[in-house]
């Protein structure tokens, strides 16, 4: 069991509704990453941008991107995580994939679809959280708007790391900054948030603010420009602070209804 997890956060612009162009660009970036990296975190809808027209994306692109993620994970001996437009069983999903270097895959469908943009009208909503045991760390990955709902992120599963992949716009970036830090503090877990930069065709601007916070809410990484951010997560840090501060044991008890 590893005591450290080395993370790379890819904060990048996205080419609108062009999966191949985005895969090509990201592949070039991934090839430059440190060989120590265990986990590569990509933004929400990293092959298209935050499109509300999933029918513009050929259905086969979902499987192509999943195959690409497997190839990148194998070549770099690291897991990849990020969400894409994915058609399945007659519905479209904003589906996050966690792909390990041995080809193992797991998926999470965004629970809180963004009603302000009409995401709920074109993408089906997920109903279950995803918990992944990876290289000694228990990881819970979520997507963008999920960040606003602390009950869904509530750490009842003793996870170590909470991940948010996002296309979070500049006009509401203060909420992103504040809520990422809050989720770390209240769940006593590392929180990783990866946002994009650039603009989409409607003129919506994205300014990054990708970040990593430790279990006390201290900042380990942060940027507002196109870049790769690195952070090292420590199992010892989690264990020592949870043993010293028993905040999770004092939680209110309740059940989330479906």
Q: Which residues are catalytic?
A: 44, 110, 144
Integer Cα distance of 51 and 185 in angstroms: 32
Count of CA atoms in the C-beta half-sphere (13 A) of 230: 11
Task: Look at strands 219-223 and 210-213 and give their pairing.
Answer: antiparallel
DSSP structural state of residue 172: G
Identify whether the C-beta of residue 179 lies closer than 8 Å to the C-beta of residue 195.
no
Q: How many CB atoms lie within 10 A of CB 185?
A: 16
238 SS3 class = helix
Integer Cα distance of 238 and 40 in angstroms: 21
DSSP structural state of residue 177: H
């Amino acid at each position: 069991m590893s005591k450290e997890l080395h993370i790379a956060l890819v904060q990048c612009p996205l080419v609108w509704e062009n999966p191949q162009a985005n895969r090509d660009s990201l592949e070039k970036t991934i090839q430059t990453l440190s060989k120590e990296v265990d986990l590569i975190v990509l933004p929400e809808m990293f092959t298209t941008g935050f499109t509300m027209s999933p029918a513009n994306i050929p259905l086969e692109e979902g499987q192509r991107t999943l195959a690409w993620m497997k190839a990148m994970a194998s070549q770099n001996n690291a897991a990849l995580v990020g969400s894409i437009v994915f058609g399945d069983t007659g519905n479209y999903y904003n589906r996050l994939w966690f792909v390990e270097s041995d080809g193992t895959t797991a998926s999470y469908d965004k629970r809180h679809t963004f009603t302000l943009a009409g995401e709920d009208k074109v993408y089906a909503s997920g109903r279950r959280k995803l918990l992944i045991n990876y290289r000694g760390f228990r990881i819970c990955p979520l997507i963008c708007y999920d960040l606003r709902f602390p009950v869904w992120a509530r750490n009842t599963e003793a996870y170590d790391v909470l991940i948010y992949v996002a296309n979070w716009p500049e006009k509401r970036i203060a909420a992103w900054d504040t809520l990422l830090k809050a989720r770390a503090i209240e769940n006593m877990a590392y929180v990783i948030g990866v946002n994009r930069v650039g603009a989409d065709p409607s003129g919506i601007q994205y300014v990054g603010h990708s970040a990593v916070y430790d279990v006390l809410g201290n900042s380990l990484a942060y940027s507002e420009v196109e870049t790769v951010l690195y952070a090292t997560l420590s199992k010892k840090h989690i264990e020592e602070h949870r043993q010293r501060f028993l905040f999770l044991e004092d939680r209110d008890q309740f059940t989330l209804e479906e």
